Amino acid sequence: EPEVTQTPSHQVTQMGQEVILRCVPISNHLYFYWYRQILGQKVEFLVSFYNNEISEKSEIFDDQFSVERPDGSNFTLKIRSTKLEDSAMYFCASRGTRNNDEQFFGPGTRLTVL
Amino acid sequence: SQQGEEDPQALSIQEGENATMNCSYKTSINNLQWYRQNSGRGLVHLILIRSNEREKHSGRLRVTLDTSKKSSSLLITASRAADTASYFCATYNNAGNMLTFGGGTRLMVKP
């Protein structure tokens, strides 16, 4: 069964460093998303991506964040200069078509900023 | 923005009992979804109920939707220890490109 994969599973970085979180969505899906979940808190929407552009972003997704689909298979989230408060689980999700509202989530990347 | 909020925040029951979780939201919706999250893992879609549906079943899951009260409930019947997880409701914004999750209910099923 197709699934969304994410790498790495755990990333530890120093404050101020850049990180890139990687995701491989389900191959024929058209809509891509990033979410984050701070420990013990709710899942928060960051950004949605369709047709090679951002279709929606939340207030959390400021200028320090960017997304890219560089090669038609990977979908990346970059944080330019990490802060302590960026420590969280980051989940990638994909969705097949506009008519199918179900999103398929990856296992997540745990980001720890020291 | 649309926002689902679940109650209770935590629920502990014995295996075999039923578990009921509730969700409230603020704005009009086309559908409402329920997801499950095992500890520290990704979310898994459980069931979707459309705004013109009042009740939907899937295996041991039963979801209801009351659009007049802007609320939904998820019932898990004959619970099992393996049902231990967090359960979230989620709704899309009007443009259908942002999924907003509620705070979740942490369910513990004791064997």
Cross-chain Cβ contact B48/A102 below 8 Å: yes
Give the integer Cα–Cα distance in Å for B91 and B1: 10
DSSP strand pairing (B85-92 vs B31-37): antiparallel
pLDDT at B2 over 70: no
Q: Can you give the pLDDT at residue B3?
A: 53
Q: Which residues pair with B6 in a beta bridge?
A: B23
Cross-chain Cβ contact B99/A45 below 8 Å: yes
Q: B8 or B54: which carries more pLDDT confidence?
A: B54
Determine contact: B41 vs chain A, CB below 8 A. Answer: yes
Q: Can you give the pLDDT at residue A97?
A: 82
Determine contact: B104 vs chain A, CB below 8 A. Answer: yes
Check: CB of residue A85 under 8 Å from CB of residue A112.
no
**Mean pLDDT value of segment A19-29:** 95
pLDDT at A5 over 80: yes
Instruction: Residue B63: list chain A partners with CB under 8 A.
Output: none
Compute the count of residue pairs across chains A and B with CB atoms less than 8 Å apart. Answer: 59
Dump pLDDT digits (tens) for B40-83. 788 999 999 999 999 999 999 999 999 999 999 999 999 999 99
CA torsion, ordered A101, B6, A59, B32, to nearest 10 deg? 20
Instruction: Residue A102: list chain B partners with CB under 8 A.
Output: 33, 45, 48
Q: Can you give the pLDDT at residue B1?
A: 32
Give the integer Cα–Cα distance in Å for B1 and B32: 14
Q: Can you give the pLDDT at residue A79?
A: 97
Q: Which of A45, A104, A108 sits opposite B100 (nearest CB)?
A: A45
Cross-chain Cβ contact B101/A42 below 8 Å: yes
Instruction: Residue B98: list chain A partners with CB under 8 A.
Output: 45, 48, 56, 58
Q: Can you give the pLDDT at residue B54?
A: 97
Check: CB of residue B4 under 8 Å from CB of residue B104.
no
pLDDT at A42 over 70: yes
Q: Which of B31, B42, B95 sits opposite A106 (nearest CB)?
A: B42
Residue B58 burial (CB count, 10 A): 11
Give the integer Cα–Cα distance in Å for B29 and B74: 17
Q: Which of A48, A55, A91 sits opposite B43 (nearest CB)?
A: A91
How far away is chain A from the Cα of B103, in angstroms, using its nearest Cα? 5
Dump pLDDT digits (tens) for B20-33. 999 999 888 999 99
What is the CATH code of the structural domain delimited by B4-110?
2.60.40.10
Percentage of residues in chain A with pLDDT exceeding 70?
Answer: 100
Instruction: Residue B37: list chain A partners with CB under 8 A.
Output: 43
Q: Which of A4, A42, A93 sits opposite B104 (nearest CB)?
A: A42
